Structure 1
């Protein structure tokens, strides 16, 4: 179905999953093409709209993981299963799973940065034979801040998962320390062909990419997401502009050869 990109459409809340006190996943009805790393504008009449990354894709739905941080998202948390949001999108370019098939892949994600790459991780967890080696390094502030717990339980059975906490007690499931500290020790059969994806807070992304380059990854084999710069989705408001690029249109996913020049 063709939609006007400027006009929101109604989407039913099919399910709500609570991860933490301020982070829920809303499963929204949706039929259409969408990729991990793309985003929707979620709106509530009289309250405004907010850009939210796709955190899951299925038959007739998309998952949107939302943090309660402002006027619009506060109102989002007052909604219940069977009620509706209005959506625009999907916008931007996403992660192409096909880019990584047959390669070793490392994903480094911090906090809610797991959301836009969840679809990529889930794909290779379901198709482990399509990737030579897969490592996920995720960082959360504490044990109570972990998202997608059920997914991590499944992913640990299929992939190499390193889950770090900024603070707390080390357990068989959790290591304590910054995610970047575990990049130098990555075991790879050929770093020259290995791929990496990095998503998270700006400082975490900067130091993660630096560590990957020092480990021997090639710039052209690293992808990043500038999801924190997403705004209107259409490149009209100008708030996402960095240099001559519009994150809403040219991103939010960039190959690092291009993304390294996006200095805000």
Structure 2
């Protein structure tokens, strides 16, 4: 069987065959080949060699499981409930280049100054209907000015899948687009986020409901707070099926980081 697979791989190398086509061919060959193991197990059982027969039968069942996985992956749009391949890939480390690519992060240089990471927390922003309309309008303006990248962080499919496995989705402008102008103001015990193409065209984009794990009202009492960065995320995105990445339109959102200092 290994000889047959080696010959197939050798001759396919002469053609510009993509990996999915090769995978389908290997799956068909493997599906046919594993039944020989079942025949061997049967012959050992007939001859009273129960231990060897049981071991070969166990190998057959294991290979049958992976053949079924490949059938789902290469021939259908469905996913298998008990798919252990991501766990195996994680243990083996995956493809090193893809791994390095997926763990690399772009550096976002904020316009509101630099802060030590130990003094920065993520903030949770919630937007009402009017604020969401302002976000959508700002996203459209930024698109017209070609400020929003659509290359999925230059990540290949495997690297995108790793991010999707962690976050459920990857946006075309991953890891986000820094707003040209942003600010945070306190109004009646609430923190509001403003942003726009510039200060003159700034609009209200949302309310900060949490600073890290602390409710905003409590955080205001204990810390001096400033917005360190405000990033636009969402829009055209990818989600993953077993066989391919699918385009999906996600709502635009504002993602912020807040720098703090004790009062």
Q: Tell me the TM-score normalized by structure 1.
A: 0.19
Larger-Rg structure = 2
Greater relative CO (CA pairs within 8 A, separation 6+): 2
Q: Which has the higher strand share?
A: 1
> Of Structure 1 and Structure 2, which has the larger fraction of its residues in helix?
2
